[in-house]
Structure 1
Amino acid sequence: MYLGIDLGTSAVKVIVIDDEGQLLAQKSASLSVQNPHPLFSEQDPHQWWQATDQAVRALRDDVDLADVKGIGLSGQMHGATLLDSAGEVLRPAILWNDGRSAEQCRQLEAQVPDSRIRTGNLMMPGFTAPKLLWVRQHEPELFKQVKHVLLPKDYLRYKMTGQFASDMSDAAGTMWLNLKNRDWDDTLLAATGLTREQMPKLYEGPEITGTLNPDIAQAWAMKTVPVVAGGGDNAAGALGVGITKPGQAMLSLGTSGVYFAVTDGVYGNPEAALHSFCHALPDRWHLMSVILSAASCLDWIAKITNYADVATMLSELEQSAPVQHNVIFLPYLSGERTPHNDPNATGVFFGLTHQSNRLSLVQAVLEGVSFAMADGIQAMHECGYQSDEITLIGGGAQSAYWRQLLADVLNLPLTYRSGGDIGPALGAARLAMLGCHPDSSIESCCPKPELLATYTPDLSRHQQLHQRRETFKALYPCVKELF
């Protein structure tokens, strides 16, 4: 058996798969996010570890963890986790959707004019490097104590193994990695006042980074098994649904929304706020568009319209969707990345009338997130990338109504496969399998899961939605200066 651990924003998910890749058990433990000031988004790393420990211990009710051969890690990207020389956490981790460091982004790009060539990306507040420059400037005494900088999942690795290590896909999201060389970039590190001695050792996703500490192994009723490098949540999620080769792509509807496409080299369109990162597999990269609020918009609208939960809300919408409505929603509840790179952007409802009701708002939210995803895919097409197949994953993809809506908005066929709701944890477990069996092929360890449904766009519906999308696209430039 193989254990996959996915450190998300709202929860830690852990799964166990067997040698055939079949899911044997899964557990989760919730996490909370703190927003102490406008644009701030933070979490306590101690809570990550407590939740992980709780979830793994709960697995013992369903499977004998003594049979686990290896562990893989996945997690939310970009988070700045700062430790001192004793390995103690110095401050709450600054998360991927934190927008405080826009000015530091401008400073870093001015200081390293070719940073976009080195990293393949536009410097954004969500990335790790500008966060460290913010800490250096606003918390100088704390910055002097920083001995280790870790990404969120790699803090779990440190707690599990005592090793400071990371993988290429997660490291690519820091803006300290030279994308072509797959190595830390000393110039970019120096621009934030750091050296490579403060950074974790780099590995490819399936490589073994250490073994489980004996005390942790005993507490989890496991052996001192190897822990592989793993991958950032999107790269691991792609492996969970068999997205391993150029031409394959996925659309992930999690807290954020991601369009992820595998490439055989470094491609990019930084000006459109597209991301070009390493994949969690050797010698492979990927392009990615990201919107910061996707399924999280559904949680928000369900709460403020007084639905019991998102499932109830979507069920009612599917039964009584408004045939005609003119409400448009900009889904920028946490700012936005692709294509606007605007941490100050906020959510907007436009076109409300006396006839608007809560289902009008819910429909507008689903459409608004879908339109924002279409913006990212359009940016990808404009830089010359086309995919052969797009697979839907993530918690939001569990809604058949939303899956069809996305196909109609994008005017593209979409597939939905089993395991999409646990993609990152499954990908992490698959990387553990690869690490324990290095002679195995990637395709045998990371096959495409069972096809559950295919969604073909409805042309007449697409034309109706296209008209609303034109209004959606025109709205942001009109209100941008008001944010």
Structure 2
Amino acid sequence: MQDLLLGIDLGTTSVKAGMFAPDGSQLAWFVESYPTRRPAPGICEQDPADWIRLIDRAMEQFRTSGLSKSVRCGALTSQVNTHVFVDRTGHTLRPAILWQDTRATIEARELNAYFTDAEKIALLGAPVPIDPSHPLARMLWVKRHEPEIWDKTAHVLLPKDYALLHLTGELATDALSNIGLVGLDGDYARKILDLVPGAMERMAPLQSMTSVVGSSRDGFPLANATMDGWIGLAGAGACRENAFAYLSGTSEILGLSCQTVTHKPGIVVFAEDQGLRLHAGPTQSGGASQQWFCEVAGLSIPEMARLVQNNPLSRAPLFLPQLAGERAPIWNADLRGAFLGLEAGMQTVDLARAVYEGVALSARHVLSALEASGDVQSSYMTCAGGGFKSDIWGQIRSDVLNRPLKRLAIAEAGVVGAACIASVASGSSETIAQAHAPFSKIDMEWEPNPACREFYDDLFTIYLEALKTTESLSKRLTALAP
């Protein structure tokens, strides 16, 4: 009987894939990373061939185990605001421009100036900014700086759509993944796309996230699915009304499922889909800050966690985690990170704790905007992702946010969310919430320490002031780059 579900998550640093039984138990797992190239400041690229190589390896592993024969349906999610320029045969014309890439800052400012927030709300349902990761800014940059590439470009694809084209031979995308390009009617907003002549002609056809795009080489159907932020938040538990979820990976993504929309700035509010209206606040550098510090300090990620765990009373400076600009809730590509309050007696452990706290403070900044966006306050948050493998970082986050956190037993919410989409696409479940029920087991809970509340309230106030103070300085420093 074909009753297994396959979920694939093409993330920022790795491909992850899992096979799941109807009761939510994980039967097989694959994970392998690929490189990111940063050849110059603001430039961040990947080779799409690396994605396909690892997806093929995952499929071969499941094929060899015999599990592929029992798959009822699969779905693939991916990082978004990463863009692949392909020709008419589907071959890539240049490296993929990653969501962290800020080369299109000038183009973004120019395009963003065409619309007021009120006009964006009328067109898109939310004041979605055209920032350097926006597909239109990327297209305009390539058109200006690589005109020979632009002329050969037949489609500008998101990673999941490029991967599905490889797996099924079919071209499709979904509305939610195309942030800032799809209007309230669920179709492309031509008024925006027409700002860059030729952009509309290079978009892939829109399909529902639960529609079947085609069949894999193993014969089972693959669903269209959607972006990793939406799927990850749904997989992390934001699949019921007024439910909050916190997903920690390369970036921190906090989300809320809520039909109320206040249009307060800073948060991305998705169009309603599958009965859910998700509000999402993605930061720029969550786990990326941890990874950066570990590389600089010569530590592994577990070593960093043990260092902080074993020195709970260390005095820490304030860390601003805006290593490559910031997304939610301030959307400023010019911001850069900093350590404030350094003293001669401070050691590695103090800086490590500061990194954990700084990322948590950025999450608190998002949570404030998120609660304002839905006009609802969180009583607790379910959480998932690799950033929650560290118990001490989970406790620090709970203390900084002043919210209980409940960690899901299966940490990889993107893979779980993809499996939930596959469940709905195959008819096994009627809703995402129903599909998620078998995956809702909790394996760890953190309660905020009341003794820490006043300290972190004061630190958060200083954090907000520091962001404002360093904004102009960051811009001037960036301009000094040779």
Same fold (TM over 0.5): yes
Distance 2:357 2:207 in 1: 40
How far the C-alpha of 1:63 sits from its partner, in A, is 4.7
What's the secondary structure of 2:50's corresponding residue?
Answer: helix
The answer to whether the 8 A contact 1:167-1:202 is kept is yes
Distance 2:89 2:103 in 1: 28
Distance 1:190 1:44, change over 3 A: same
Distance 1:97 1:313 in 2: 24
Residue 81 (structure 1) aligns with: 84
In the alignment, which of 418, 424, 445 is matched to residue 428 of structure 1? 418
Deviations 1:47-105 (A, max 9, x none): 11112112222334545211112110111011111111222111111111111122222
Normalising by structure 2, we get a TM-score of 0.92
Moved more, 336-345 or 90-99: 336-345
User: Matches of residues 21-420 of structure 1 in structure 2 within 5 Å?
Assistant: 21-60=24-63, 62-113=65-116, 114-119=119-124, 120=126, 121-171=128-178, 173=179, 175-178=180-183, 180-194=184-198, 196-212=200-216, 217=217, 222=218, 224-264=219-259, 268-270=263-265, 273-278=266-271, 281-307=273-299, 309-321=300-312, 323-383=313-373, 384-419=375-410
How far the C-alpha of 1:324 sits from its partner, in A, is 5.0
What's the secondary structure of 2:40's corresponding residue?
Answer: coil
The answer to whether the 8 A contact 2:77-2:160 is kept is yes
Distance 1:268 1:190, change over 3 A: same
Normalising by structure 1, we get a TM-score of 0.91
Letter aligned with residue 453 of structure 1: M
The answer to whether the 8 A contact 1:17-1:23 is kept is yes
Deviations 1:296-319 (A, max 9, x none): 211221221122x11122012111
Letter aligned with residue 362 of structure 2: A
The answer to whether the 8 A contact 2:247-2:383 is kept is yes
How far the C-alpha of 1:465 sits from its partner, in A, is 2.0
Residue 477 (structure 1) aligns with: 468
How far the C-alpha of 1:127 sits from its partner, in A, is 2.1
How far the C-alpha of 1:441 sits from its partner, in A, is 4.1
The answer to whether the 8 A contact 1:206-1:230 is kept is yes
Distance 1:436 1:453, change over 3 A: same
The answer to whether the 8 A contact 1:258-1:289 is kept is yes
Letter aligned with residue 41 of structure 1: C
Distance 2:22 2:234 in 1: 16
The answer to whether the 8 A contact 1:186-1:195 is kept is no
How far the C-alpha of 1:404 sits from its partner, in A, is 1.4
Distance 2:450 2:99 in 1: 37
The answer to whether the 8 A contact 1:45-1:93 is kept is yes
The answer to whether the 8 A contact 2:429-2:435 is kept is no
How high is the sequence identity, in percent, across the aligned residues? Answer: 26
How far the C-alpha of 1:169 sits from its partner, in A, is 2.5
What's the secondary structure of 1:158's corresponding residue?
Answer: helix
The answer to whether the 8 A contact 1:264-1:283 is kept is no
Distance 1:325 1:242, change over 3 A: closer
Moved more, 260-269 or 368-377: 260-269
The answer to whether the 8 A contact 1:15-1:425 is kept is yes
1:7 aligns with 2:2: no
Distance 1:72 1:300 in 2: 31
How far the C-alpha of 1:242 sits from its partner, in A, is 3.6
Distance 2:229 2:137 in 1: 21
Letter aligned with residue 37 of structure 1: A
Question: Is there any run of 5+ residues in structure 2 with no aligned partner, and where?
Answer: 475-482
Letter aligned with residue 115 of structure 1: K
Moved more, 115-124 or 309-318: 115-124
How far the C-alpha of 1:439 sits from its partner, in A, is 6.2
Size of the aligned set, in residue pairs, is 465
Distance 1:435 1:417 in 2: 24
Distance 1:103 1:116, change over 3 A: farther
Distance 1:31 1:15, change over 3 A: same
Distance 1:142 1:231 in 2: 27
Distance 1:381 1:20, change over 3 A: closer
Letter aligned with residue 383 of structure 2: L
Deviations 1:153-201 (A, max 9, x none): 1100000111111123212x2x2111x2221111111112235442222
Deviations 1:238-267 (A, max 9, x none): 232342122011111100111111123655
Distance 1:335 1:356, change over 3 A: same
Distance 1:167 1:391 in 2: 26
How far the C-alpha of 1:397 sits from its partner, in A, is 0.8
Deviations 1:33-56 (A, max 9, x none): 111221111111111111211222
Distance 1:132 1:385, change over 3 A: farther
Letter aligned with residue 277 of structure 1: F
Distance 1:319 1:11, change over 3 A: same
Question: Is there any run of 5+ residues in structure 1 with no aligned partner, and where?
Answer: none
Distance 1:334 1:284 in 2: 31
Moved more, 145-154 or 53-62: 53-62
Distance 1:465 1:206, change over 3 A: same
The answer to whether the 8 A contact 2:256-2:280 is kept is yes
What's the secondary structure of 1:170's corresponding residue?
Answer: coil
Distance 1:21 1:326 in 2: 41
How far the C-alpha of 1:328 sits from its partner, in A, is 0.7
The answer to whether the 8 A contact 2:85-2:157 is kept is yes
Distance 2:309 2:282 in 1: 27
